[in-house]
Amino acid sequence: MERASTRKEGEAEKMSGKEQVHIQLFHKWDTTEIAINDPGLKNVISLKPAVIPVTFGRHEHKRLKKAEVNIVERLANKMMHFGKKYAKNTGRMGGKKARMLNIVKTAFEIIHLETGKNPVELLVRAIENSSPNEDTTRIVYGGVVYHVSVDVAPLRRVDLALRFIAEGVRESTYSSPQAIEEALAKEIILASNNDMASHAVKKKNEQERIAMASR
């Protein structure tokens, strides 16, 4: 009995002395030390450590739980869905999750080769630079429709930024020999630098300009 107890104590000491497992995205990219500079987006951009960012839609029927989904998975989901029109969701415009995650992984490798930086950090910067703060909505007053400026909720800001990035990739690769991985890497790099050549940054500025004119 004494030997068994000492053996258990030794195993417990070994377990307590073990280092914590360091989880990296795709076994390559660390997301634990990435800082979110925009204070309005800190609670809606999830950098939860995961090797393969797949949650199998567990958040689907829970309100606002989308904010807890890893931001890389949300990007992959947006890349699979380019709009509500039938032509934008079928055939080659639709995609499988595993295929899209491989595309994102390859794009991240291209970003790292070109910039030498963590691609997840550049994705966060791209979202910060392409998420609009203002939008317009319609109100009816006396039978007349008016467009008025409104603030955008943080969760919708991230959704719009990811949508703009996905649209930029689709437009640059449609009927073009450019690979989708290269287009995604280019769009993220340009948006992270707040470059006007980025489709996402242009869409953000255009939306805010229209909202400012509707104040």
Query: What does the pLDDT read at residue 173?
Result: 86
The pLDDT-based confidence of 63 (bands split at 50, 70, 90) is confident
Q: Is residue 207 part of a domain?
A: yes
For residue 7, being part of any structural domain is answered with no
Q: Looking at residue 46, which CATH number applies to its domain?
A: 1.10.455.10
Within a domain: residue 105? Answer: yes
In a domain, 4, yes or no: no
Is 15 among the domain residues? no
pLDDT at position 91: 61
Q: Is 109 helix (H, G, I), strand (E, B) or coil?
A: helix
Does 17 have pLDDT greater than 50?
A: no
Strand, helix or coil for residue 175: coil
- State residue 201's pLDDT score: 96
Question: How many structural domains comprise the chain?
Answer: 1
Question: In angstroms, rounded to a whole number, what is the distance separating the alpha carbons of residues 30 and 56?
Answer: 22
**Residue 96 belongs to what domain range?**
20-213
Using 50, 70 and 90 to split pLDDT, how confident is the model at 109? Answer: very high
